[in-house]
Amino acid sequence: MIVQIYTAQSPEEALALADLGVNHVGLTPTTVGLPGQISEQTAAAAAEALRGRAKSVALSVETDVTEIARMAAVVRPDILHLCGEVGAVDPAAVRALRRMIPAGMQIMQAIAVGADGDREWARDYARVADYLILDSYTTDVQGVGAAGVTHDWSRSAAIVSDVDVPVILAGGLSADNVAAAITAVKPWGVDSLTLTNRPLGDGRFEKDLDAVSAFTRAATAVSVG
């Protein structure tokens, strides 16, 4: 079971997550007000520090593929995570974006589970993306995800059965519920942001390494047949 943790805010924090067995370390290089956002330069340093240790994942909520490609060229993550508003970068645009980003960089497309047409979107994006990440549909945060709430896992399970690409399950997951989520959905990987944070006040946070460790242990202990 692959474990993905968002969001590291420094190279040191990224490496601390890798040391705990995290496979994918999420970075948020933007200035639009997303949780845990960092500069592109900090994200690039974290991505470089992670090479050979864990895969770096850089998130974008942008809708302009030229801007997304520019960020990807600066940060150079292993995986580019597209999580703008539903359909804002459609599958044809993702296909075009792939030709614009550095060779070998993979694409992870977010699917808003619970939004109209979620299964259809998933099937369409599975034709152009390397991974799908299934997150909860909400209007509380820009883009898809980062709300820290669960969704109907039966809908995610249906998507997993529909597509042939690896699927990461996200949305309100913690050490307390990740085993049940894996059993219900049978994803390739699981993701946590909100419930593995330690709040610092004023909307700021750092990763709670004890919570991350517990999440990783709980996720990897589950056998998916």
Maximum C-alpha span of the chain: 43
More confident residue, 203 or 64: 64
pLDDT surpassing 80 at residue 14: yes
206 located within any domain: yes
Provide the Cα torsion 188, 194, 198, 200; round to 10°.
Answer: 150
pLDDT surpassing 90 at residue 142: no
186 located within any domain: yes
Residues 6+ apart with CB under 8 A from 185: 134, 153, 156, 157, 160, 167, 169
List the beta bridge partners of residue 82.
60, 109
**The pLDDT value given to residue 145:** 56
* Cβ neighbours of 171 (radius 10 Å): 29
Task: Give the model's confidence band at 184: pLDDT under 50 very low, under 70 low, under 90 confident, else very high.
Answer: very high
> pLDDT tens across 57-69, in order?
999 999 999 999 9
152 located within any domain: yes
Q: Phi, psi at residue 109, to the nearest 5°? A: -105, 130
Lowest model confidence (mean pLDDT) among 31-35, 59-63, 119-123: 31-35
pLDDT surpassing 60 at residue 55: yes
Q: Phi, psi at residue 203, to the nearest 5°? A: 80, 0
pTM strictly above 0.75: yes
Q: Phi, psi at residue 58, to the nearest 5°? A: -110, 125
Based on the structure, what is the number of domains in the chain? 1
More confident residue, 78 or 139: 78
Q: Side chain identity at 3, as an amino acid letter?
A: V
157 located within any domain: yes
Q: What is the DSSP letter of 192?
A: E
Q: Across residues 201-220, what is the average pLDDT?
A: 96
CATH number at residue 40: 3.20.20.70
Task: Evaluate whether 190 touches 178 at the Cβ level (below 8 Å).
Answer: yes
**The pLDDT value given to residue 85:** 82
The CA distance from 7 to 26, in Å, is 5
Q: Across residues 86-92, what is the average pLDDT?
A: 89
> Do the bridges between strand 167-169 and strand 106-113 make them parallel or antiparallel, or are there none, so unpaired?
unpaired
Q: Range of 108's domain? A: 2-220
pLDDT surpassing 90 at residue 104: yes
The CA distance from 222 to 1, in Å, is 8
The CA distance from 76 to 48, in Å, is 8
The CA distance from 133 to 148, in Å, is 14
Q: Which two tokens stand for residue 79?
A: 């995986």
137 located within any domain: yes
188 located within any domain: yes
225 located within any domain: no
